[in-house]
């Protein structure tokens, strides 16, 4: 028979119940604000207050995760030389993607977005946030410990991060050059980490443009029963 020692320590829940009127107003305000978010590929080189980045990462760190293992690392890059190396590697992989690796079906699917292998946003944006997922960790004794629901957990944390940055008046792009192994090498990450996403962050350029896209309607994405 398996025996375990419980380490569960409960604490009172802190929860502020809103009136229906306030809840609806907050819900509508949040929806309106989120609906303004766009993926931006044309960034200004204007500096961004560092605290905005720190606070957004703190917000991402509050995300729920499997067994509360918090299997994420956010590497913030502002050094021009490092950004240049990352861009060079990303464009090399993207060029191979567009010319050799990608299927015609995939290229047709992304055609309305207007992307190509040229990635100026990597060096133009004042910050890059490289997100890594931790496949495993080490406990206090140094023993290797498996992490659970890693991709799901990191995906939720990235959602928090994007909303926090957007709420701070910053523009972002979710960039996933494929493959992304170069990020681990350039940034010197440990063996337990895998690249998950690269997020340029900054203010949009004055002449920034975005593709005309439509989001699916509520009826297309939800089933109420």
When pLDDT is averaged across residues 21-48 and rounded to a whole number, the result is: 97
When pLDDT is averaged across residues 57-85 and rounded to a whole number, the result is: 98
pLDDT (0 to 100) of residue 184: 97
pLDDT digits (tens, 9 = 90+) for 129-150: 999 999 999 888 889 999 999 9
Residue 136's φ and ψ, nearest 5 degrees, are -155, 165
Q: Pull the structure tokens for residue 33.
A: 């604000």
| Domain membership flag for residue 27 | no
List, as one string, the DSSP characters of 50-119: HHHHHHHHHHHTTS--GGG---EEEEEE--HHHHHHHHHHHHHHHHHIIIIIS-HHHHHHHGGGT--S--
In 3D space, the residue among 122, 146, 121 whose CA is nearest the CA of residue 135 turns out to be 146
Structural domain of 54: 42-205
**CATH code of the domain covering residue 137:** 3.40.109.10
* Percentage of the chain exceeding pLDDT 90: 94
* Percentage of the chain exceeding pLDDT 70: 98
Least confident of 88-92, 111-115, 169-173: 111-115
Number of domains present in the structure of the chain: 1
């Amino acid at each position: 028979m398996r025996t375990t020692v419980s380490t569960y320590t409960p604490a009172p829940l802190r929860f502020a119940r809103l009136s229906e009127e306030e809840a609806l107003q907050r819900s509508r305000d949040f929806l309106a604000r989120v609906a303004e978010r766009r993926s931006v590929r044309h960034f200004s080189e204007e500096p961004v207050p560092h605290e905005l980045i720190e606070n957004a990462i703190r917000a991402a760190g509050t995300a729920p995760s499997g067994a509360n293992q918090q299997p994420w690392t956010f590497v913030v890059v502002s050094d021009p030389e490092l950004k240049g190396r990352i861009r060079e590697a990303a464009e090399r992989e993207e060029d191979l993607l567009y010319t050799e690796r990608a299927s015609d079906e995939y290229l047709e699917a992304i055609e309305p977005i207007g992307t190509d292998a040229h990635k100026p946003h990597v060096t133009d944006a004042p910050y890059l946030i490289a997100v890594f997922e931790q496949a495993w960790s080490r406990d206090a004794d140094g023993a290797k410990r498996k992490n659970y629901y890693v991709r799901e957990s990191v995906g939720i944390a990235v959602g928090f991060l994007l909303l926090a940055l957007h709420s701070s008046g910053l523009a972002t792009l979710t960039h996933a050059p494929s493959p992304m192994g170069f990020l681990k090498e350039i940034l010197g990450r440990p063996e337990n980490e895998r690249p998950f996403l690269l997020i340029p962050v900054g203010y949009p350029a004055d002449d920034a443009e975005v593709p005309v896209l439509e989001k699916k309607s509520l009826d297309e994405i939800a089933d109420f029963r």
